[in-house]
Amino acid sequence: MKRVLMAALVLSICSCNEVVKPEVANDNEVTESNIIVHEEYSGVEPSKPEETELYEPKVAVVTPGKNGSAPSDAIVLFEGTSLDAWIHVQDSTAANWNLNDDGSMMVKDKSGNIQTKQNFGDVQLHLEWSSPAEVQRDGQNRANSGVFLNGMYEVQILDNNDNPTYVNGQVGSIYKQHIPLAMASVAAGEWNTYDIIYRSPEFNEAGDKIKSGTMTVMHNGILVQDDVALKGTTPYIGWPKNPTHGKGPLMLQDHQDNSRVSYRNIWVREL
């Protein structure tokens, strides 16, 4: 920062016709090589409003859902009455998590994780979840579940209300990779929303990752993950791994400790 201030001082004592570019101080500051120039806005600036108004391409019309229900172009994964879109990870049998009377489903303890039959790449995902009002246990064992994008990158679900745990594993974290920007949960027993934008990583022909996947997460409308780079899988023990993959299922976690986490209004838009 000192060097930038020095550059500004130098600029202030130069003649008006001279342009002094700031010196490079560190990666977060401006360098000549990363200055962005929008070439399309060079030349003579338009003087009439219509010269900067576009009518193509046409923009798709999407009818929004109401109260968390799916918009018109979404793939509905759970709307309250059927688990047909889901199978158990372990043996690919029909998902048998519990259907609740209120149009939600609940983790069936020790039945194992469930995943979508359909595979997805880049998506916008909406889901709603609720931890039970009747609190049991502490830390990572209080209403722990999670949604795994591409079947391997977990956004943590946990009842963190008056229940601290390691911050890179709390609700809204990318598990053991990215600490959430806020703890935005409603009270236990109430419904939370997650809106997630996921972009897949890219791999070269040798199977090496050449571009990291990214995730943006809104928790109850509050930004908790801001376009973070995925460093790999999200294991409980060990480093993130980067297996080559294409599209994959969305997976919901059975933490196998009577989490009693419920889900509703799960839909996805492919991007």
| C-alpha separations of 180 from 32, 82, 152, 186 in Å | 33, 32, 18, 15
Cβ-based neighbour number of residue 217 at 10 Å = 28
Strands 251-252 vs 145-149: parallel, antiparallel or unpaired: antiparallel
Instruction: Give the interface segment with Mg ion, choosing from 63-71, 113-121, 136-144, 201-209 (CB under 5 A).
Output: 136-144
Instruction: Give the interface segment with Mg ion, choosing from 6-14, 81-89, 191-199, 248-256 (CB under 5 A).
Output: 248-256
Coil vs helix vs strand at 152? coil
Among residues 69 and 161, whose Cβ is nearest to Mg ion? Answer: 161
The whole-angstrom separation of Cα 103 and Cα 98 is 11
Structure tokens at 201: 């990583």
Instruction: Give the interface segment with Mg ion, choosing from 86-94, 145-153, 195-203, 228-236 (CB under 5 A).
Output: 145-153
Taking the complex as a whole, how short is the minimal distance between the CB of residue 177 and Mg ion, in angstroms?
13
Among residues 22 and 254, whose Cβ is nearest to Mg ion? Answer: 254
Taking the complex as a whole, how short is the minimal distance between the CB of residue 155 and Mg ion, in angstroms?
9
Structure tokens at 226: 């801001």
Instruction: Give the interface segment with Mg ion, choosing from 21-29, 36-44, 52-60, 141-149 (CB under 5 A).
Output: 141-149
Contact by Cβ (8 Å): 241, 51: no
172 binding Mg ion? (CB under 5 A): no
Taking the complex as a whole, how short is the minimal distance between the CB of residue 171 and Mg ion, in angstroms?
9
- At residue 11, φ and ψ (nearest 5 deg) are -60, -40
Among residues 147 and 218, whose Cβ is nearest to Mg ion? Answer: 147
Among residues 98 and 140, whose Cβ is nearest to Mg ion? Answer: 140
**146 Cβ neighbours under 8 A, 6+ residues apart:** 154, 155, 156, 157, 175, 252, 253, 255
144 binding Mg ion? (CB under 5 A): yes
Contact by Cβ (8 Å): 188, 181: no
Taking the complex as a whole, how short is the minimal distance between the CB of residue 236 and Mg ion, in angstroms?
9
180 binding Mg ion? (CB under 5 A): no
Residues in the interface with Mg ion (CB under 5 A) total: 3
Contacting residue, 78, 88, 131, 146, with Mg ion by CB under 5 A: 146
C-alpha 182: how far from chain center: 14
The whole-angstrom separation of Cα 79 and Cα 112 is 21
Instruction: Give the interface segment with Mg ion, choosing from 111-119, 128-136, 195-203, 247-255 (CB under 5 A).
Output: 247-255
Give the footprint of Mg ion on residues 57-116 (CB under 5 A): none
Contact by Cβ (8 Å): 226, 232: no
x-or-dash pattern for Mg ion, window 250-269, by CB under 5 A?
Answer: ---x----------------
Contact by Cβ (8 Å): 29, 2: no
Instruction: Name the site residues for Mg ion (rule: CB under 5 A).
Output: 144, 146, 253
